[in-house]
Amino acid sequence: MTSDPNLMTPGEPLDPARDAAAVLLVPGPPLLISHRGLVDFDPWAVPQPRGIAAWGLAGLAETLEVVALALIMFLSVRVVAHNYIVDGGSMAPTFQTSELVIVNRLSYREVDLSWLPGGGKIRLFGHPQPGDVVVFIYQEEPRKRDFIKRVIAVAGQTVEVHDGHVYLDDRPLDEPYISAQPNYAMPKTLVPEGSVFVLGDNRSNSFDSHLFGVIEESRLIGRAELRYWPLDRFWRVDHHLGLPIS
């Protein structure tokens, strides 16, 4: 992880770099308020200086407690969410370059309960659905790159592109969120089990499944939930998929 997180949404040229960083939550120490009571208060008493030795174990214990609490909170946030900077125009107009997005890492995570009688692997929030805006690992080598795209089709569904429309299960989609109709054609593709088909909302300027094929669900990092910067575009992410044209 670097201190300068970047989430690449490829456009032209189709070779973006990836550098994503997790949300960093650094909590401050708790504010402790002491109440001695008026009975013990002596306004003329001269406070006795406390040496380093007197601070010693008590001060060290308090410092370690604060550090441990900060570490626990930091690790907890890393498990749940990551934040990314969008770099590129392949998801325009939904996302613009330099916008900041929170991604829920638990969205598609499997939990192993095989240690329980009759237990197995379960998904807390289910599988990805058409319309979900997801972040996924495009490649591991020569360096990691994460992409952000919209899920168009899931396992068992077919998708094709022609005549300026995306067809899901042989029905054209009406998609008000895209920048323009796609200027390419793609033959019908059946999404296999455990995979999803993704496209960028900037259909004609996106490196996505119409070029590299479906992606496995195991490569999904999570679902984009909130755009928190810039403030005038602060809002939850819309996971709507255009309805088929009747």
The per-residue b/e assignment along 194-230, b for 16 or more CB within 10 angstroms, e otherwise, is ebbbbbbbbbebbbbbbeeebbebebbbbbbbebeee
CA–CA distance, 37 with 39 (Å, rounded to integer): 6
CA–CA distance, 241 with 239 (Å, rounded to integer): 7
84 bridge partner residues: 101
**Sequence-ordered list of residues with C-beta below 8 angstroms from that of 215, at least 6 positions apart, any chain:** 136, 138, 195, 196, 198, 209
> Which residues are designated catalytic?
90, 149
The DSSP letter of residue 242 is P
CB 211 within 8 A of CB 107: no
Query: In the Cβ-directed half-sphere of 18, how many Cα atoms lie within 13 Å?
Result: 17
CA–CA distance, 23 with 236 (Å, rounded to integer): 17
Instruction: Mark residue 165 as left, alpha or beta (left: phi above 0; alpha: psi -120 to 50; beta: remaining).
Output: beta
